[in-house]
Structure 1
Amino acid sequence: METSYTLSVVIPMYNAEDYIGICLDSLLNQNLKLDSYQIIVVNDGSKDNSKAIVEGYVKKYSNVILYNQNNSGNGAARNKGMELVKGKYLYFLDADDYIASAVLDELVSVLEKKNLDILGFNSINTRSSHLNTSKTALNIRALEDYKVKTGVKFIAEHNYRAEVWWYIMKTDFFRSTGVVFYDRKFVQDSYITPTIFLKAERVLFIPHDVHRYRQNDDSITHIKAPAHIRKHMNDLIFAVKKLDALIHSVNDEPCENRLKNRQQGYVFFFLIRFAKSDMSFRALRSILSELKAIEAYPIRHFIGKDYHGFKYRVLVFVLNRSFLRAIFLYTYRFAYQQINKNDRP
């Protein structure tokens, strides 16, 4: 691929008028020349003032690009952004998140020095829009202390984060994986990221403070609408099935075990979400039969180094036994409905 830039940042955007300016400001407040990196915003049919805000940046900054499309979903927006990428390195950032000042040049230096396919870093959860200064100082000379690994070994040895904004990647490498994003609202990166990692030869994680994940009351744990919960549950099961294909493609037992742990984690959280949903118990039994066929249920690989608390152990014991599971889910659902009955329209 002929590259015109060192770095491309792809931002899918939908109704982000309260955040997109902060996101773009953070990307522009870097120690990189404007002609060395591009910022690609894919407007996925926003109905608020997001488009106009970005148009203002396009007029002012030569490296900001806006592409408008009809609402097609986050995955389609990322895929369209990839078509416009001309950078040697690639980063996906959500429109409501942002990054610390003056970190991108450091990350590019590490990518170049170590000849990496993937570089990971730290993120901070926050409600603030002003955490602009990185809390860590990156010592390039100390990089020798950090070991480059294959993606398979990285998955096996780390409680890796699935969200793609934890990582900057070499664009040619990403394209060589053949990965495309699906039109799924939730947990899409849960199978996209490990798919990429399994093909990577050179992966490095550095404990450098870079990304800010914005917490807000619109998160999946706060929205109680039945359709929203059902969508989340459907996407969790989709992720479980996608991970099954990955698990069967791996010949490394520690890596396989980590992927099974993640897969059954999604089964666990699917069952917890079920108690808050309007899905019938008959439908649940049908789904569990499908999961048994691919050995994703009963939950045998969830408890381990990543999840080992007493609460998780008790819940897994209950959820794996049909009689106890039924009592627990019926009771949980009844209590949840009583607590939230005043919130119903």
Structure 2
Amino acid sequence: MDDQVKASIIIPVYNAQNTIRRAIDSAVNQTTDEPYEVILINDGSKDGSAAILDAYASRYAYVRVIHQANQGITRTRENGIRAARGEYVFWVDADDYADKHLLAKTLPLLESGADVVIYGTQYFCENGGRADNRIRKNISDAAYWKQQALNANLSTIWTYGTRRAFWEGETAPSEVARSAADGYMTIRIFDKARVFRVLPDILYYHLVDSPFSIRHTFNGKRYLGNAFLWYYRLKCSETAYPENVEPCAARAMSGYIKAYAMDTVIHDLTEEDRKNIIKALRDLKRYSISGRIRDKLLGWAILHNQLWLCRIYARHKNSKTQQMNQKMQKD
């Protein structure tokens, strides 16, 4: 049976009882004639998600459910790779859904030699309205897509399908486990790929963020993840893509500074995290960075232990974030 599974669609699930049926329906109703599996991973949900997943597994022989204690999205995805049997892997988030022709249109390209197939994404609102969409340029040059991953123009894993072998053995660093793991893993996967193909078709539908999304949570851990990723992009770009270096350095510096500053109020970083931030900020002084005066001032304050400036910034940022989230909930 394992040799017959051509593709694995992996869906991590955490407290998604209101949207998960839509995601699973899109996965089980694929139009391909190729054998495939759907792996549903319940990451310690506290709502009714687990029962929904079990119901689908009892109905469809090619649906498998894994129940686990909560580990977070990044480790859950890694568990999904370990469980997958398909030659190719596709990702669907629990509040998104895939086009029914996703596999039918991408698998022939992968079977004919493509390492990665990139496809279009439609963003949508929960009330049914459409937001922006993302149609990728029909460019097959591998260097182009590797650079797109490094400069963050393509950094979500649900916008492409690829060989499972590329995912095996990959583990995201702890710094990006809470945020930014998609961008890190895309760089890693694309670095292994040699043949890229692009489909202009919209084959994935992504729910526009709710105010409860991690994207609207600003704390030390989140900023640390983003900073770590930009620092990684910087180091990867130095030899092959020098034009990326200064922008990556500026984003890394800004993220590290914000992470350290937010921690002075929230206290969510470890002592090792703080030491690594100081080390990175000192290293970043070697680069030509034309960042904001605010960032340079906060960077000076961190390196000279004038943390009262960081606390002022962090409290102001927290206040603005709370106001933004309250407004989004009302809207």
TM over 0.5: yes
Unpaired segments of 5 or more residues in structure 2?
327-331
Q: Aligned in 2, Cα 1:329/1:216: closer, same or farther, shift over 3 Å? A: same
Q: CA contact under 8 A between 2:6 and 2:88: conserved in structure 1?
A: yes
Please state whether the residue corresponding to 2:6 is helix, strand or coil. strand
Amino acid at match of 1:98: Y
1:13 corresponding residue in structure 2: 13
2:94 corresponding residue in structure 1: 95
2:193 pairs, out of 197, 200, 209, with 200
1:1-345 aligned at under 5 Å gives the runs 3-33=3-33, 36-113=35-112, 115-128=113-126, 146-150=138-142, 152-156=143-147, 160-175=153-168, 178-182=169-173, 184-214=177-207, 215-223=209-217, 229-243=219-233, 246-247=236-237, 251-252=239-240, 254=241, 257-258=243-244, 261-262=247-248, 264-269=250-255, 271=257, 278=265, 289-295=278-284, 300=288, 316-321=292-297, 333=314, 335-336=316-317
- In 1, the alpha carbon distance for the partners of 2:72 and 2:134 equals 35
Please state whether the residue corresponding to 1:17 is helix, strand or coil. coil
> Alpha-carbon deviation of 1:89?
1.1
- In 2, the alpha carbon distance for the partners of 1:194 and 1:239 equals 10
Q: CA contact under 8 A between 2:20 and 2:95: conserved in structure 1?
A: yes
Amino acid at match of 1:28: V
Q: Aligned in 2, Cα 1:338/1:105: closer, same or farther, shift over 3 Å? A: closer
- In 2, the alpha carbon distance for the partners of 1:84 and 1:196 equals 18
Q: Aligned in 2, Cα 1:203/1:50: closer, same or farther, shift over 3 Å? A: same
Please state whether the residue corresponding to 2:119 is helix, strand or coil. strand
- In 1, the alpha carbon distance for the partners of 2:231 and 2:60 equals 43
2:329 corresponding residue in structure 1: none
The CA deviation string for residues 33-83 of structure 1, in whole angstroms up to 9 with x for no partner, is 4x7110001111111111100111111111111011122222222122112
> Alpha-carbon deviation of 1:153?
3.7
TM-score by length of 2: 0.75
The CA deviation string for residues 259-287 of structure 1, in whole angstroms up to 9 with x for no partner, is 7644643443454566666268xx99966
> Alpha-carbon deviation of 1:102?
2.4
Unpaired segments of 5 or more residues in structure 1?
138-144, 302-312
Identity among equivalent positions (%) equals: 20
- In 2, the alpha carbon distance for the partners of 1:3 and 1:259 equals 43
Q: Aligned in 2, Cα 1:17/1:266: closer, same or farther, shift over 3 Å? A: farther
1:309 corresponding residue in structure 2: none
Q: CA contact under 8 A between 2:16 and 2:49: conserved in structure 1?
A: yes
Moved more, 123-132 or 70-79: 123-132
Q: CA contact under 8 A between 2:43 and 2:72: conserved in structure 1?
A: yes
Amino acid at match of 2:86: G
Q: CA contact under 8 A between 2:249 and 2:287: conserved in structure 1?
A: no
Q: Aligned in 2, Cα 1:234/1:273: closer, same or farther, shift over 3 Å? A: closer
> Alpha-carbon deviation of 1:99?
1.6
Instruction: Supply the RMSD in Å over aligned alpha carbons.
Output: 3.8
Q: CA contact under 8 A between 1:318 and 1:324: conserved in structure 2?
A: no
- In 2, the alpha carbon distance for the partners of 1:323 and 1:71 equals 35
- In 1, the alpha carbon distance for the partners of 2:184 and 2:50 equals 30
Q: Aligned in 2, Cα 1:181/1:95: closer, same or farther, shift over 3 Å? A: farther
Amino acid at match of 2:146: I
> Alpha-carbon deviation of 1:293?
3.8
Amino acid at match of 1:320: K
- Matched pairs, number: 306
Q: Aligned in 2, Cα 1:93/1:260: closer, same or farther, shift over 3 Å? A: farther
- In 1, the alpha carbon distance for the partners of 2:245 and 2:72 equals 26
Q: Aligned in 2, Cα 1:149/1:279: closer, same or farther, shift over 3 Å? A: same
TM-score by length of 1: 0.73
Q: CA contact under 8 A between 1:40 and 1:81: conserved in structure 2?
A: yes
Q: Aligned in 2, Cα 1:37/1:318: closer, same or farther, shift over 3 Å? A: same
> Alpha-carbon deviation of 1:116?
0.9
> Alpha-carbon deviation of 1:234?
3.0
